[in-house]
Amino acid sequence: MNSSRQVHLPKAVPPKGRGPLGSGEMRLAYTMILPTLLIVLSIVLLPLLANFWISFKPVELGDLRPPTILSNERLKPSPKAVGEQAEISYRLRNTSQRGVVADSILTDTMPDGLVVNGELDSRCQLDGNQLKCDLGTFVPAKRETLNIAVTATREYLDNPINPRASKPVISGDPDNILTNSVFSLKNYKKVFSGSEFWKVLRVSLYYTIFGTIGALLFGLFAAQLLSTTFPGRGVLRGFFLFPYVAPVIAVAFAWVLILDAGPGGTLNAILMKIGATDGPINFLGRRATPISFFGLTFDFPVALTTVISFEVWRYFPLSFLFILARMQSMSSETYEAAEIDGATPLQQFWYISLPQLAGILAVIFLLRFIWTFNKFDDIFLLTGGAAGTRTLTVDIYEQAFAVSNLGAGAAVAVVVFFVLLTSALLLFKFSPQDDG
């Protein structure tokens, strides 16, 4: 006989909601953080969107000012007697070589006592002494002279007024290349079609990777050196921070003086004095020098290596501070146990310190990679981008300001953005986690 017992399953408990109090707190939190979020978005996103916008437009430095029509008004000859005829001329010029000014209208006040002689230009109307001329569309760089024949009366001779006393007003609808709906890939074609871009990209990656790794290694070495207790450690830590806190203009100028290839160069004088070199080395002006190593000959980038050395020297203190702070938080018991087991200092570093430092090293590498790739002032102050040290940031400056091609400069800036975005995503994906 089948049993008809009824099995009672436990009722599913619905997930507990936030409740009225929790929802109110959440809305209050969002309301309080909204102004800050909007400010951050406006500071970060608006310049980025503006850069994207400009990169698709053939904008030059002169296009930042919208096209306008300038006028030069003259009365010739100046009437000396009643009934003497003269001519008021308006010399008009479109200031832009590329922009169009549509629906141009000139308005001016005619001097009292000057009567229009004959017919006005078909585009002009005179209401009392108020002149209005519909000039239509002014194409780029257009020049035109508008002449109005007048006759002098006694009223004008008794109170002669220069027509320039009332400046003509010209209104119109200028075609601003920054705000119109015309877009082009011309800037990107110019950037990617030239072989110079790929050379500059390689130099940028070389400079960034070696500068970042060098700063990281020197910072790690300095942190290991100054993590132990010894007399004068605090003073020495302060000296290690000097390259980072010193003004970049001062230290760059000092490096230029030290590395000068002339008779005032300190380093060259020392190298020649000890017989290391036969003559001065142009550290900041020499692109490359051939070097033989294990039977292989290659061109050693002199100026670029010098700039990388400056980058490592100037920014290793930041890595030093991060790594030292992490090392101070490590437990000493693990090291004491490893020392009892007979582990050497190198083994302690490799198997204990390094795994715990992996996370902070990854963070420092990411930050230094982004900051170094965006560096402009160091290279510009040392070499100006010459001798094979031209990076993408220097290229942005030269395109935008030296050549006055803002669109091409913005296109290079967009390329820099995507290179950094891709690099950051890859570093985030493959960076090790902190074991500490």
Greater confidence (25 vs 53) lies with 53
What is the domain-level CATH number for residue 113? Answer: 2.60.40.1170
Element (H, E) at 187: helix 186-193
pLDDT in tens, 168-187: 899 888 887 888 888 889 99
**Domain span at 156:** 67-174
pLDDT in tens, 110-166: 888 888 887 888 899 998 889 999 999 999 889 999 998 989 888 888 888 777 777
Contact 304, 389 (CB under 8 A): yes
What is the domain-level CATH number for residue 230? Answer: 1.10.3720.10
Residues 147 and 288 in one domain: no
Banded pLDDT at 335 (limits 50, 70, 90): confident
Residues 326 and 356 in one domain: yes
For residues 426-436, one letter each, b for 16 or more C-beta atoms within 10 angstroms of the residue's C-beta and e for the rest, the string is ebeeeeeeeee
Average pLDDT, the chain: 86
Residues 142 and 200 in one domain: no
Residues 332 and 211 in one domain: yes
Q: Is the pLDDT of residue 263 over 90?
A: no
Residues 152 and 259 in one domain: no
Q: Is the pLDDT of residue 3 over 70?
A: no
Task: Report residue 21 as tokens.
Answer: 């109090």
List strand residue ranges (DSSP E) for 260-333, in order. 288-293, 296-301
pLDDT average, residue stretch 304-313:
95
161 alpha carbon, distance to own chain's centre: 52
Q: pLDDT at position 226, please?
A: 87
User: Could you tell me if residue 12 is inside a domain?
Assistant: no
**DSSP per residue, 25-77:** HHHHHHHHHHHHHHHHHHHHHHHHHHHHHHHTS---GGGGSPP-EEEEEEEES
| Cα 130 to Cα 124: distance, rounded to the nearest angstrom | 10
Q: Is the pLDDT of residue 10 over 80?
A: no
| Cα 179 to Cα 99: distance, rounded to the nearest angstrom | 12
pLDDT in tens, 60-116: 877 777 888 998 888 888 888 888 888 889 999 998 887 889 999 999 988 888 888
Q: pLDDT at position 313, please?
A: 95
| Cα 329 to Cα 237: distance, rounded to the nearest angstrom | 18
Domains: count for the chain = 2
